[in-house]
Amino acid sequence: MGRTHSNAFLQTPRYFDVPYEPVLKAVCARNADRVKSFAANWGYESIETDWRALVARKDIDLIDIASPNDTHAEIAVAAAGAGKMVSCEKPLGRNAAEAEQMVEAVETARVPNTVWYNYRRVPAVVMIKELIDQGKLGRIFHYRAQFLQDWTISQDLPQGGEGLWRLDVGVAGSGVTGDLLAHCIDTAMWLNGSIAELTAMTETFIKERKHTLTGKVEPVGIDDASAVLCRFQNGSLALFEATRYARGHKALYTLEINGEHASARWDLHDLHRLQWFDHRDEGKLRGWRSIHVTDGDHPYMKHWWVPGLQIGYEHTFIHQFADFLSAAAGNQSASPTFRDGLATDYVTDAILKSAKTGRWERVTASATATAVKAVGQQATV
Ligand SMILES: NC(=O)c1ccc[n+]([C@@H]2O[C@H](COP(=O)([O-])OP(=O)(O)OC[C@H]3O[C@@H](n4cnc5c(N)ncnc54)[C@H](O)[C@@H]3O)[C@@H](O)[C@H]2O)c1
């Protein structure tokens, strides 16, 4: 994600009229040689090998967190405490308790913030949001989403360490629920409102794996697969599924929403297309339309190429950064804010709890939530 974000920092002012010119002052990672070569490749002026030194620097306005999940809370709280703007990768915290501390820190410091749930910035997904907000779907009955991968099926794959921290529950917080399903939940709540209650199953198919850092075979604490049935506050029903055991799928994020008048469907493997069915079309011509979301009047597309030429994954980060800079100029945050990221963590916590208890769980703020005051809660864009 360091590359994805650096690309966004460089490209944003070239394509969007933004109120700030980003200056790549410093990049931080633990290995000095590797971070030097990263800095040279992307044009950072300097390096740090301890994030605390980065946060202490007076010449830096924004701290961007693109490191593993166990680092998010500590860095974000320190950065907000130092008065920096903060952008953070998802999931916001390893759990809601961590995310609550992060929300409190940015809201107390009143610093602009955002969480990189980038799928909210896919033009076809933004179009679904616009169509829902315009009432074109009518009453919503169903929402369903899947995020499927297949890269952890081998039982010889170790857990932990570089590239494999996602399999170590201490670092990741959870498995596919916080990693993949969190994306689905964030988009779903943006499009369809809050989730009221849910029941879930999770499974850890491979129970023990060698740990890269200790060299020992250790129990696996993450969920390999997660299946969720839930009810939104608006009364619609939903199904969510995430797994890293769906052979043949590398990053298949799909979503569909069914309303009284129309349905919309989107697929990350075809991200520039919106599938749309409108029952109000003339009967004999009624059918699913595949809309190529590349015209100048489609969301964000006037900043890119001529109609018909598509964009990709990296552009979603450019869009989010452009929105973030515009908001920050008015000391506002860009959605999803840390508070929105916390809302997703409440849902993923409830999923993991339901998988343990075998019961339906209501999605509520955790016991410590009352400690989070809506101090200086900011308007969002
Ligand atoms: N929005 C998305 O689509 C998306 C996609 C992938 C990952 N992510 C999120 O981005 C984050 C990073 O994931 P990734 O796949 O880029 O991981 P990665 O393992 O490829 O990279 C993590 C980087 O963080 C560095 N790092 C680790 N500990 C550090 C520390 N204490 N101080 C400074 N640097 C440290 C590592 O050296 C490495 O360069 C995670 O939170 C992940 O969930 C989001």
Contact predicate 292/143, CB 8 Å: no
> Whole-angstrom Cα distance, residue 170 to residue 218?
12
Q: Give the pLDDT of residue 373.
A: 43
Domain 119-329 belongs to what architecture? 2-Layer Sandwich (3.30)
| H helix intervals, 230-364 | 313-329, 338-357
The hierarchical CATH code for the domain 2-118 is 3.40.50.720
Q: Are β-strands 46-48 and 26-28 bridged in parallel, bridged antiparallel, or unpaired?
A: parallel
Contact predicate 182/276, CB 8 Å: no
Mutate to test the pocket of ligand 1, among 67, 87, 314 (most ligand atoms within 8 A of CB): 67
Residue-wise pLDDT tens digits, 296-347: 999 999 999 999 999 999 999 999 999 999 999 999 999 999 999 999 999 9
Contact predicate 67/50, CB 8 Å: no
CA of 189 to the centre of ligand 1 (A): 25
| CA 39 distance to own-chain centroid | 25
Contact predicate 380/332, CB 8 Å: yes
CA of 361 to the centre of ligand 1 (A): 31
Q: Which residues of the chain have pLDDT under 70?
A: 366-381
User: What is the amino acid identity at position 337?
Assistant: T
Contact predicate 56/78, CB 8 Å: no
CA of 250 to the centre of ligand 1 (A): 19
CA of 133 to the centre of ligand 1 (A): 34
- Enumerate the CATH 3.40.50.720 domain ranges in the chain, comma separated: 2-118
Q: Which two tokens stand for residue 275?
A: 């599938």
Q: Give the pLDDT of residue 365.
A: 82
> Whole-angstrom Cα distance, residue 258 to residue 141?
6
Residue-wise pLDDT tens digits, 149-175: 999 999 999 999 999 999 999 999 999
Of 66, 91, 96, nearest to 79 by C-alpha is: 66
What predicted TM-score, i.e. pTM, was given to this entire model?
Answer: 0.96
CA of 29 to the centre of ligand 1 (A): 10
> Whole-angstrom Cα distance, residue 200 to residue 352?
7
Q: Give the pLDDT of residue 209.
A: 98
Contact predicate 381/327, CB 8 Å: yes
**CB of 88 closer than 6 angstroms to any ligand 1 atom:** no
- Enumerate the CATH 3.30.360.10 domain ranges in the chain, comma separated: 119-329
**CB of 276 closer than 6 angstroms to any ligand 1 atom:** no
Q: Give the pLDDT of residue 367.
A: 43
